[in-house]
């Protein structure tokens, strides 16, 4: 999403993209990608831009929202999801992936070793082999 507030503030200050990029200590194409919304602007960069443009943070800040449409054939229902909710979901997914990996490793560990039946049934003296088929009579 194009950062129109930022672009307008830069133009009002009479600065070019190259000049702001130099003050931000980055290449002009990197800064241009931020203005055009192709690269996220970090909070530190927003603060620095406000200082460079001599404006309040709130006057130029535009949040990073993701907008998507359902379908071309359907009525144009557009939904906006705040970035912090998406980040929360990503963290939760990463947590779940970690738990799944641990559980898979535990399953493999249990499959790899013999299960002593006496651990389960203290009165028995037999050992159970993993995946052993029992004969039915």
Which token pair is 130?
A: 């993993």
Which bin fits 54, alpha (ψ -120 to 50), beta or left (φ > 0)? left
Domain with CATH 1.10.260.40 in the chain: 4-62
Q: Which of 20, 59, 57 is nearest to 42 (CA)?
A: 57
Distance CA 78, CA 68 (A): 6
Span 4-62: which CATH code? 1.10.260.40
Low-confidence ranges of the chain (pLDDT < 70): 65-78, 114-137
Closest CA to 2 of 41, 54, 48: 41
Q: Could you give the angle at the alpha carbon of 133 between the alpha carbons of 130 and 134, nearest 5°?
A: 115
* Under 8 Å between Cβ of 62 and 2: no
DSSP element (H, E) containing 58: helix 57-60
pLDDT digits 0-9 by tens, 42-70? 989 999 999 999 999 889 998 876 555 44
For residue 72, which phi and psi values (nearest 5 degrees)?
A: -70, -35
pTM score: 0.47
Q: What is the pLDDT of residue 74?
A: 55
Give the per-residue pLDDT at 82.
81
């Amino acid at each position: 999403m194009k950062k129109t507030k930022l672009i307008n503030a830069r133009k009002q200050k009479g600065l070019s993209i190259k000049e702001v990029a130099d003050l931000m200590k980055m290449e002009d194409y990197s800064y241009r990608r931020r203005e055009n919304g192709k690269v996220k602007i970090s909070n530190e960069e927003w603060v620095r831009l406000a200082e460079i443009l001599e404006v309040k943070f709130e006057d130029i800040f535009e949040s990073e929202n993701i907008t998507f449409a359902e379908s071309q054939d359907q009525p144009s229902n557009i939904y906006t999801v705040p970035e912090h909710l998406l980040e929360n979901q990503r963290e939760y997914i990463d947590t779940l992936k970690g738990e799944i990996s641990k559980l898979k490793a535990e399953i493999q560990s249990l499959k790899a070793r013999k299960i002593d039946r006496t651990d389960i049934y203290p009165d028995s003296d037999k050992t159970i082999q993993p995946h052993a088929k029992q004969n039915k009579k």
